[in-house]
């Protein structure tokens, strides 16, 4: 942390013993330990808060990306619907935004398998 070796710590302890005396040295050591503990807790709290803020910014960025992807998906869906409408000649859309003609034709084909082509031609306006 401060790059203090054993010899420096021994010198600090010897000076503290001379200055404070043997009676007050244990109290001073306890107080110093408390201050070091508080400092460590404070540093860890600051680190944790900083990490949480960074995670919050990352989540905001992911949300922005998600909205961009959803917009792109909607644009692609709208384009494919226009293409389908142009191919089938239908203008009505179902609840999902897709044309109703292929869905209706599939339902009629399921009910009357022998008349599949005649019904499909009739629904397309031929």
Residues 84/98, Cβ–Cβ less than 8 Å: yes
In a domain, 56, yes or no: yes
Residue-wise pLDDT tens digits, 62-90: 889 999 999 999 999 999 999 988 888 76
Higher local confidence (pLDDT), 24 or 101: 24
pTM: 0.40
Residue at 27 is within a domain = no
The reply to whether 113 falls in a domain is yes
pLDDT in tens, 85-113: 888 876 555 555 555 555 555 555 555 55
Judge whether 32 lies within some domain.
no
Any domain includes 30: no
Print the domain residue range for 68: 38-123
Q: How wide is the angle at C-alpha 74 spanned by C-alphas 69 and 77, nearest 5°?
A: 125
Number of domains in the chain: 1
Cβ atoms of 67 and 82 closer than 8 Å: no
pLDDT given at position 88: 84
């Amino acid at each position: 942390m401060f790059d203090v070796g054993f010899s420096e710590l021994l010198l600090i302890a010897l000076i503290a013993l001379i200055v404070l005396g043997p009676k007050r040295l244990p109290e001073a050591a306890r107080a110093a330990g408390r201050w070091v503990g508080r400092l460590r807790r404070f540093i860890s709290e600051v680190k944790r808060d900083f990490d949480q803020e960074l995670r919050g910014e990352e989540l905001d960025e992911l949300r922005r990306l998600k909205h961009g992807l959803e917009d792109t998906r909607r644009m692609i869906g709208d384009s494919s619907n226009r293409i389908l409408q142009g191919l089938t000649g239908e203008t009505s859309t179902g609840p999902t935004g897709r044309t109703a003609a292929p869905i209706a034709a599939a339902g009629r084909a399921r009910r009357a398998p022998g008349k599949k082509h005649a019904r499909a031609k009739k629904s397309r306006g031929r």
